[in-house]
Amino acid sequence: MAQSESHHSLAPPVFDDEEPHLLIVISPYYKDIADNLLAGAKAAITASGATYDIAEVPGALEIPIAIRLASNRDKYQGYVALGCIIRGETTHYDTVCNDSSRGLSELGLQGLCLGNGILTVENREQADVRADYTGQNKGGGAADAALHLIALSNRFNKPSKGIGFKPASENIIIADKTDGSKAV
């Protein structure tokens, strides 16, 4: 077992404008683990001043699909994926881990702000340690990741301050010049 390492966490983001509204999509397949992940995510979102809704799905494979369905509406600025996959005796573990992770990655690359809190562990003990909201708090970490991406998206999508060119269609005619030409 590896030694415990210290990790740096970013300070919570500050939202100058409207506080974001997030969707937490959770698979309660392992209910007690899911409850701990959810407690951490809810605390992190609430601490930032943001709000959230919760949607439950049967398993980890359905999480990216639910997020994609919800993203068709303009109701949410970010998403938090929560669940747990514990290695079993078959290769199903590999399929579920890879496909749920790939689905979330694709959604992120399409521009959705999301935090991945789907635990992929070898055993129940590892899951309990990572889900504990008073310990590793991976649910809170996933919520923080979504919040940071929302803040980053807001920063990158702010209107420019007049630097650069604008299309001719945006030019406004201000007045006629004395020679008959138009000033813009």
Instruction: Count each helix (H run) and each strand (E run) in the chain, helices first.
Output: 5, 6
| Residue 34 CB neighbours (<10 A) | 21
Strands 175-176 and 21-26, sheet pairing = unpaired
The answer to whether the CB of 87 falls within 8 A of the CB of 123 is yes
Q: Is 7 a catalytic residue?
A: no
Measured distance CA(93)–CA(165) in Å, rounded = 52
**Which of the residues 7, 8, 21, 92 is marked catalytic?**
92
Is the CB of residue 38 less than 8 Å from the CB of residue 54?
A: yes
Contacts of 119 (CB under 8 A, 6+ apart): 33, 37, 83, 84, 85, 126, 127, 130, 131, 138
Known catalytic residues are 92
